[in-house]
Amino acid sequence: MTDHPAVELLCDTMSGISEDVYAAGWLQDCEWALWHALTEWRAGRPAVGAHANLSPYMTKLDWLHRQAGGWWMGWAKEVER
C-alpha cells in the first residue's frame, strides 16, 4: 500500500462499498465495477442493474480518484485519467 492518504482512503472506501452494496469483503473485480459505475456517472448516464445502488457513493469516489491521482486496482494503484 502507498503512503498517500487519499489512496488509502480510496481503497478503504471501495472496500466499504463492496461490503455495503454487495455484502462482500472484497467482491471479485469490485475495482472494475466501481470504475465502470464512476465513468457512467461522469458521463451523466443513469445507474442501472447492479450499479443502481452505487449512486450515493459517486461524488466521494470521484473526489478520491482525483485526490489519489489514479484508481485502486486490487493491491496496486493504477493511474486512470
pLDDT, tens digit, 9 for 90 and up, residues 9-42: 998 898 888 888 877 666 677 888 889 899 999 9
Q: Is residue 80 scored above 70 in pLDDT?
A: no
Q: Which amino acid is at 3?
A: D
List the chain domain ranges. Answer: 5-78
39 — phi, psi (to 5°)? -65, -35
First vs last C-alpha separation in the chain: 20
Tell which wins on pLDDT, 3 or 60. Answer: 60
- Percent of the chain having pLDDT more than 90? 25
Q: What is the pTM of this model?
A: 0.78
CB 17 within 8 A of CB 25: no
Q: What is the pLDDT of residue 1?
A: 46
Q: Is residue 46 scored above 70 in pLDDT?
A: yes
